[in-house]
Amino acid sequence: MAQDKVQKNIALRILQGISGSTASVVFLVTIIISIIVHFSTGSFFTVYNVGTLIRQVAFVIIIALGQTIVLISGGIDLSVANIGAFCSMVVAMLITGTHIPNFLAVIIALLIGALLGALNGLFISRLRLSPFIVTLATGSIFSGIVYVVTGGMPIIGIPRSIAIIGQGMLFNAIPYPAIIMFVIFFIVKLVLDRTTLGRHVYALGGNEQAANIVGVRVDRVKVMVYSISGLLASAAGVLMVLRLASSQVNIGENWLMPSITAAILGGTSMSGGVGKVKGTLAGGLLMGVIATSITLLGISSYWERIVTGSVVLLAVATDAIRMKRSNKGS
């Protein structure tokens, strides 16, 4: 018995030694899976496969970065996918239906995304409503508007000149959406780690009452957090329109749950105050790798959800055990 425990301790310590953070563990697992799949299929680490993979996950990771900020602040944003869809419709209508320059259309769509997010934030902070309920409701409204306005029909005719941003690749290898995703990642990381707003987000999520006492403008921070989430959701939506060269009503359909999953896989806490965007990046990549591996291994894609679900359970269980141990230790 005692020996069992010692062995377990050593195993855990090794795991902690190489990890330090949840993000690095998840990243490590991602690499290991990739290598195993590469050796069993011979086709994982190809320019084409890796390029496709990171383009696929870029959209969800952009959304998930916003979701991470919201989760750290102690809230949740269930409207991200719908804001994405709303803004994809807006940008498509502006590009195909008006004469304004394309870049202006994109900026307007992004601003509208931020504005819709701010609306969430205002309801949540001023009226002290639950973020879950507010964003559930507004999300439903936004997506409803998309169906009403478009009648469920796609908007086509995005010119190649701008669609290149969604479709093209740098050096024929790195898709532009992936580059944009990495740029956003570094900006969000900088904001969270190095700005007063970012640190106040952590303070707010960790202890809202104390945040008020130390002079965090709680309401303002909440509005900012949901605006950023809306802005990033909009960015993903716009990018998807450029990728498809058209706007579809079902854009973003599969973004919401993966955005939360990526954040949680990366160690972000659902109860606020804890989380890192590099974890979210690693979490998003892991989900992409699982999906790609299942395809490469020729397993039915229905299995993807089962595997992802199991990985999430495993990840949070490991975290909970670690948490319990560190609490006991102190």
Partner 1 sequence: MSKIILETQGICKRFPGTVALDDVNFTLEEGEIHALIGENGAGKSTLMNILVGIHAMDAGEILLKGEPMHVANTHEALMKGISMVPQELNLVPALTVAENIFIGNERLNKQKSGLISWKKTQEHAQKILDDLGMSIDVRGIVKSLTTHQQQMVSIARSLVAGAEILIFDEPTASLTTTESEVLFETIFNLKKAGKSIIYISHHLDEIKKVSDRTTIMRDSRVVHMSETKDISIDEMIFYMANRKVEKTGVKQARTEFGEKVLEVKNLSLYKQFEDISFDVHQHEILGVAGLVGSGISELFKSVFGINKPDSGTVSVRGIEVQTGSTVEMIKLGVGYVPEERRVMGIFPFLDVAENMMISSYDVFCNMGLIKFPKVYSSANTYKEQLKIKTSTINALIKNLSGGNQQKVILARWMAKNVQLMILDNPTRGIDVNAKGEIHSLIKKLADNGLAVVVISTEMEEISALADRIMVMHEGKFKGIMENTQSNHEDILKTALQ
CB of 228 to partner 1, least distance (A): 15
The mark string for 237-276 relative to partner 1 (x by CB under 8 A, - otherwise) is ------------------------------------xx--
CB of 23 to partner 1, least distance (A): 16
Q: Does 213 contact partner 1 by CB under 8 A?
A: yes
CA 37 to chain centroid: 25
CB of 102 to partner 1, least distance (A): 30
CB of 329 to partner 1, least distance (A): 9
Token output for 19: 């990890």
CB of 179 to partner 1, least distance (A): 23
Phi-psi region of 178 (alpha: psi -120 to 50; beta: other; left: phi over 0): alpha
Helix (H, G, I), strand (E, B), or coil: what is residue 247? Answer: strand
Q: Does 212 contact partner 1 by CB under 8 A?
A: yes
Q: Does 317 contact partner 1 by CB under 8 A?
A: no
Q: Does 127 contact partner 1 by CB under 8 A?
A: no
CB of 310 to partner 1, least distance (A): 28
Q: Does 207 contact partner 1 by CB under 8 A?
A: yes
Judged by CB, which is closer to partner 1: 215, or 298? Answer: 215
Query: Which listed residue (36, 173, 183, 190) binds partner 1 by CB under 8 A?
Result: 190
Q: Does 328 contact partner 1 by CB under 8 A?
A: no
Q: Does 20 contact partner 1 by CB under 8 A?
A: no
Helices (H), 127-267: 131-150, 160-167, 176-194, 196-206, 208-213, 218-244, 256-265
- Nearest-angstrom CA–CA distance, 212 and 327: 27
Mention every residue, 6+ apart, whose C-beta is less than 8 A from residue 221: 73, 197, 200, 201, 204, 211
CB 175 within 8 A of CB 168: yes
- Nearest-angstrom CA–CA distance, 17 and 38: 27
Give one DSSP letter per residue of 122-140, joined into a string: HHHHHS---HHHHHHHHHH
Query: Which listed residue (20, 214, 301, 302) binds partner 1 by CB under 8 A?
Result: 214
Judged by CB, which is closer to partner 1: 210, or 314? Answer: 210
Q: Does 316 contact partner 1 by CB under 8 A?
A: no
Q: Does 209 contact partner 1 by CB under 8 A?
A: yes
Query: Which listed residue (51, 154, 168, 206) binds partner 1 by CB under 8 A?
Result: 206
Of the candidates 272, 265, 325, the one whose C-alpha atom is nearest the C-alpha of residue 21 is 265
Give one DSSP letter per residue of 16-41, joined into a string: HHHHSSHHHHHHHHHHHHHHHHHHHH
SS (H, E, C) 280-292: HHHHHHHHHHHHH
Judged by CB, which is closer to partner 1: 200, or 278? Answer: 200
Query: Which listed residue (200, 243, 276, 278) binds partner 1 by CB under 8 A?
Result: 200
Residues that bind partner 1 (CB under 8 A): 190, 194-196, 199-200, 202-203, 206-207, 209-217, 273-274, 330
